[in-house]
Amino acid sequence: MWMQFSNGFAYLLSEAKNDNSMTKLKLIYEGKAKKIFETDDPALYIQEFKDDATAFNALKRGTITGKGAVNNKISSVLFQHVEKEGIPTHFVKQLSDREMLIRKVQIIPLEVTVRNITAGGMSKLLGIEEGIRLKEPVYEIHYKKDALADPLINEEHALALGLATRAELETIRQYALRVNDFLRKFFEKLNIDLVDFKLEFGRAGAQIILADEISPDTCRFWEKGTGRKLDKDRFRRDLGDVESAYQEMLEKVTGKLG
């Protein structure tokens, strides 16, 4: 897929050629931004990224043109960096613009967030302004339940509900904080403040691995100095220039800018 950038250049978004050696079989899950397909290998799935965007528990719906391809590429790059940091992920390889080959996982119904700067849910919950640098990263777990808009819970709730074991929760916490340490420094070099982000984890056999995606849909990225938002808040808050913000993050993450 060729993308036209504001600087007038067009370039090939994904170097990965379509890899027809993997056959896409039955659709087994369709979420707000992604579809998951079985493949002819029982240990592998294909994750397909859509341009559909939703916010506020799907009350707001729209399309961000090119988002699926951008999020696939950004996630592919970031998963590979995170793997190198010793955190196992579901990423196997990027198959095409919108398709990622992933390990089959059983998703743990938790949305794990780490925050470095106040914004969004934390500001609302505690009645504090956005943009305050936190003295320590704030680690949170939310119960993945659309009907309740993913409520904040603690580890005792997760244990009592049997969502994960104590050992699994500890692994998830360690991995999430290590992902934060890595990503914060990575984006620092790109002149971006990593405000907060959401991760999802799954079980692959007995192993806990990072799943889902790491993208402008799931992170808050603020340009240092100006505070300009380069993430899904542009869509959530009707700030305009949504597509160009996603493309700017793609160019930064792939080393073509910044």
Q: How far is the CB of 229 from ligand 5GP (least distance, A)?
A: 11
Task: Using DSSP bridges, classify how beta strands 192-204 and 207-211 pair: parallel, antiparallel or unpaired.
Answer: antiparallel
From 126, 56, 133, 69, select the one nearest 97 (Cα to Cα): 69
Residues that contact ligand 5GP, how many (by CB under 6 A)? 15
When asked if residue 232 is in the footprint of ligand 5GP (CB under 6 A), the reply is: yes
Query: Given the complex with ligand 5GP, which of 22 and 229 has the nearer CB atom?
Result: 229
Stretch (H or E) spanning 120: helix 120-126
Q: Which of 92, 219, 230, 245 binds ligand 5GP (CB under 6 A)?
A: 219
Dump strand ranges (E) for 13-169.
24-30, 34-39, 44-49, 52-55, 60-63, 91-94, 99-103, 106-107, 110-117, 133-143, 152-153
Per-residue interface string for the shown chain with ligand 5GP, residues 82-121, x marking contact by CB under 6 A: -----------------------------x-x-----xxx
When asked if residue 217 is in the footprint of ligand 5GP (CB under 6 A), the reply is: yes
Helix, strand or coil, per DSSP, at residue 163: coil
Joined tokens for residue 37: 């397909």
Query: Given the complex with ligand 5GP, which of 41 and 181 has the nearer CB atom?
Result: 181
C-alpha distance from residue 66 to each of 1, 128, 143, 229 (Å) = 9, 34, 30, 18
Per-residue interface string for the shown chain with ligand 5GP, residues 122-151, x marking contact by CB under 6 A: x---------------------------x-
Query: Given the complex with ligand 5GP, which of 98 and 198 has the nearer CB atom?
Result: 198
Query: Given the complex with ligand 5GP, which of 24 and 32 has the nearer CB atom?
Result: 32
Helix, strand or coil, per DSSP, at residue 3: strand
